[in-house]
Chains A and B, each alone.
Chain A
Amino acid sequence: DARVTQTPRDKVTEMGQEVTMRCQPILGHNTVFWYRQTMMQGLELLAYFRNRAPLDDSGMPKDRFSAEMPDATLATLKIQPSEPRDSAVYFCASSAEPGNTEAFFGQGTRLTVV
């Protein structure tokens, strides 16, 4: 049963701490998306990778956010330092042929920064 796996599911951290969220895309999918979901902003595209290369991270605050794909089985989203306004649910999704096929979503990481 192929699925996108995200860890951790929930994270509570203090303001100023570093947060790292991890995503294991579906094997064989060459495109990975990071989204952030809040009540106010809805689903925002933060960044996406194709064949491990970052194609667009314009949706991401550059000063504190960074996204990487160290290898084809792992994508990371890091926030340093974290702020209360970063509290949201962060979703990773992967796709075999973006735009032409569906994106498969992980269950998300619910981040609370206090």
Chain B
Amino acid sequence: SQQGEEDPQALSIQEGENATMNCSYKTSINNLQWYRQNSGRGLVHLILIRSNEREKHSGRLRVTLDTSKKSSSLLITASRAADTASYFCATDRGGGFKTIFGAGTRLFVKA
């Protein structure tokens, strides 16, 4: 079974708006990562947050992690049409070498 579950499954917003995606996981983790996938292409790493971190920023991305709730959120501010993609969270299942992905959120940004 997959470790992470993203919510919502799909999100449609206007350019300039903020997009928030959530991820919940089941077991303890050391790290949580967010990836992006453009249609038909490989995944690209966006950001990694460690279990002892609560918030991390990278450009227009802001990731939060709440280990007590086993959840994370990815916020994309001032979205652009080019942000249209699927976004996945991935976890390491408590320190193992496995990187397990959730089902993803499909984001569509309308110009």
Residues of A within 8 A of B (CB): 4, 31, 33, 35, 42-43, 45, 48, 50, 55-56, 89, 91, 93, 95, 98-108, 110
Contacts and interface: CB of A to CB of B under 8 A. Distances in A.
A102 B33 contact: yes
A103 B97 contact: no
A95 B42 contact: no
User: Which among A43, A95, A100, A101 has the greatest number of chain B C-beta atoms within 10 A?
Assistant: A43
B42 A100 contact: no
Interface residues of B, number: 24
Nearest to A50: B97
Contacts of B44: 105
A43 B42 contact: no
Contact of A95 (B2, B30, B99, B104): B99
Interface string B29-58: 011010000001111110010000000000
**Interface SS majority for chain B:** loop
Given A91-B42, A104-B45, A106-B42, A42 B92 contact: no
A99 B97 contact: yes
A70 to B, nearest CB: 20
A10 to B, nearest CB: 11
A50 B33 CA distance: 20
A56 B98 CA distance: 8
A43 B97 contact: no
Interface string B91-111: 010011111111110000000
Nearest to B29: A99
8 contacts: A43-B88, A45-B100, A56-B98, A93-B99, A102-B48, A103-B43, A103-B99, A105-B42
A59 to B, nearest CB: 9
Contact of B92 (A43, A56, A99, A110): A99
B31 A108 contact: no
Nearest to A49: B97
Contacts of A108: 40-42
